[in-house]
Structure 1
Amino acid sequence: MTSLIRLELVRALRNRKFLFFSVVYPAVLYMIIAGGAAEDSKVDGTGLTLPTYFMVSMASFGALTAVLMGNSERIAKEREHGWVRQLRLTSLPGRGYVLAKISSAAVVSLPSIVIVFVIAAVLKGVRLGAAQWLELTGAIWAGSLVFAALGVAIGYLATGDAVRPITMITYFVLSLLGGLWMPTTTFPSWLQDIARWLPTHAYTGVGQAIELGRTPHAGDFAILVVYLLAFTGGAAWLYRKDTRAA
């Protein structure tokens, strides 16, 4: 399994388009959104400054891009080209393949988080305690596993031709309604009620609580755990289904 993780990392690092959208693109978006804003400008209803609010949003967006887009499309193409079938002939267990996909995606997501943090601290004057920086990095990184599992599930659900539109629709809905691109406090009340139940809303909620020096809400943790179990369970079921079909 270690060899497969290493192979997945090498493949990801060689994919310049993937690296741009997962590592560089979120940092560029952060500067577009927060670059011209004053360091003390507030986002209504959050208690955070605009540079601080969007630091968590864009770091989360980068991690989401890395683990969701990378996993879903790669797995669907590997199924289509017979690579997964070949791996089943080896001693690698099915759970090892799924774990390798999630682990490699999580490793690649870390630079996107760190780069946004560095830009926010250096160029926009975001200041947090050392413990907060570490907690924030760990929380966003660990939370990305939820979406890595979703990426695996979509990769086994969709065919090579259908995986991109399905992934893109999921990606944009989660990003927009989860508050990664704009504060959910700007939504009408009925849409805010929907957004509260999305994993991306809970994902950013944990990060924002850490920025404010508060203990993250237990409800946000619960939502993330439920989605992680659901996506992981779905991925495992779809993997077994795909195995029987092969």
Structure 2
Amino acid sequence: MTYFKALMKVEWLLTKRGMQSLITCILLPIFFFLFFSSNVDDTVSNRELVRNYLISMTAFSSLGLTFFTLPFSLKEDQVSNRLRLLRHSPVPIWVYYLSKLLRMLLFYSLAILANFAVGHFFRQVDMSAKDWILSALLLLFGELTFMPFGLLLAQLKSSESMSALGNLLYIGLAMLGGMWMPLTTLPDWIQSIGKWTPTYRFHELVTNYLESGKIVNHSFIILVSYSLVTLLILGYLLKQKEVGDR
């Protein structure tokens, strides 16, 4: 517990240094939400559309944390040799990664709170307390399943490669997952690909709950499957790296 508290204190200090990244991850999706919803008339069907825009942009904010904030934080520790020092200390490596993941979940909780507040007060998105809370929990679950992608991205050797691939995934998965525009507006062959992306399943997990009151089991399973496969690949790469460092 002492090790964990020490690492969380370090993460807090890193958070203050990297506040610009956190603010960008929060404000950019809010800007997109306000922009996309600005010309929507206030009818019953359109209120549902605005609510879905809100969920889309809140889910979108998780991608910035996944593909930029988390991997660059890990890369900074690698470059500064902090991670190497930790590997030769009594601190279990899983405690280090846990502190990173908890920091990202805290960031995303703030992003959800900010997006939901803007949606409610500026676009009159109205949901029951139960729906607000369960939507937030489903979004946090979705972010948790995405974090292995950020951990895997951090294994690239150069920051330039990591940034290039991160940008590609950030934009590509947002578009294919229907976060910027409804997937039905895209060609059929793109829709077929998009429905297998984790971002589409992330978005569908929350919106289908709000529309039907039920959690879509296959979206849940697909998200967990993506996460587990990514963790297996990550575990293999870390093991190979550990053998090479000996």
For residues 11-90 of structure 1, the aligned pairs below 5 Å read 11-40=14-43, 42=45, 49-90=48-89
Q: Tell me whether 1:91 sits opposite 2:94 in the alignment.
A: no
Q: Any conservation in 2 of the 1:52–1:126 contact (CA below 8 Å)?
A: yes
- Structure 2 gap segments, 5+ residues each: none
For residues 69-148 of structure 1, the aligned pairs below 5 Å read 69-148=68-147
1:60-96 Cα distance to aligned partner (Å, 9 max, x none):
1112212331111221232233221111111122222
Q: Any conservation in 1 of the 2:62–2:143 contact (CA below 8 Å)?
A: yes
Cα distance in 1 between the residues matched to 2:210 and 2:117: 15
Structure-2-length-normalised TM-score: 0.91
What RMSD in Å do the two structures reach over aligned CA positions? 1.8
Q: Tell me whether 1:188 sits opposite 2:191 in the alignment.
A: no
Which residue of structure 2 lines up, in the alignment, with residue 240 of structure 1?
Answer: 239
| AA at the equivalent of 2:26 | V
In structure 2, relative to structure 1, the CA distance for the partners of 1:173 and 1:58 (3 Å cut) is: same
Task: State the identity as a percent.
Answer: 21
Q: How many residues align?
A: 242
Which residue of structure 2 lines up, in the alignment, with residue 162 of structure 1?
Answer: 161
| AA at the equivalent of 1:111 | L
Residue 107 of structure 2 aligns to a residue whose secondary structure is helix
- Structure 1 gap segments, 5+ residues each: none
More helix by share: 2
Q: Any conservation in 2 of the 1:174–1:198 contact (CA below 8 Å)?
A: yes
Q: Any conservation in 2 of the 1:101–1:152 contact (CA below 8 Å)?
A: no
| AA at the equivalent of 2:18 | N
Q: CA deviation at 1:188?
A: 1.3
| AA at the equivalent of 1:24 | L
| AA at the equivalent of 1:239 | L
Q: CA deviation at 1:41?
A: 7.3
Q: Which moved more, 1:168-177 or 1:133-142?
A: 168-177
Cα distance in 1 between the residues matched to 2:197 and 2:8: 29
1:11-69 Cα distance to aligned partner (Å, 9 max, x none):
124323202221122112111111232233757xxxx7331111001111112212331
Q: Which moved more, 1:152-161 or 1:171-180?
A: 152-161
Q: Any conservation in 2 of the 1:76–1:160 contact (CA below 8 Å)?
A: yes
Q: Any conservation in 2 of the 1:40–1:50 contact (CA below 8 Å)?
A: no
Which residue of structure 2 lines up, in the alignment, with residue 204 of structure 1?
Answer: 203
Cα distance in 1 between the residues matched to 2:42 and 2:233: 43
Q: Any conservation in 2 of the 1:67–1:106 contact (CA below 8 Å)?
A: no
In structure 2, relative to structure 1, the CA distance for the partners of 1:125 and 1:172 (3 Å cut) is: same
| AA at the equivalent of 2:60 | F
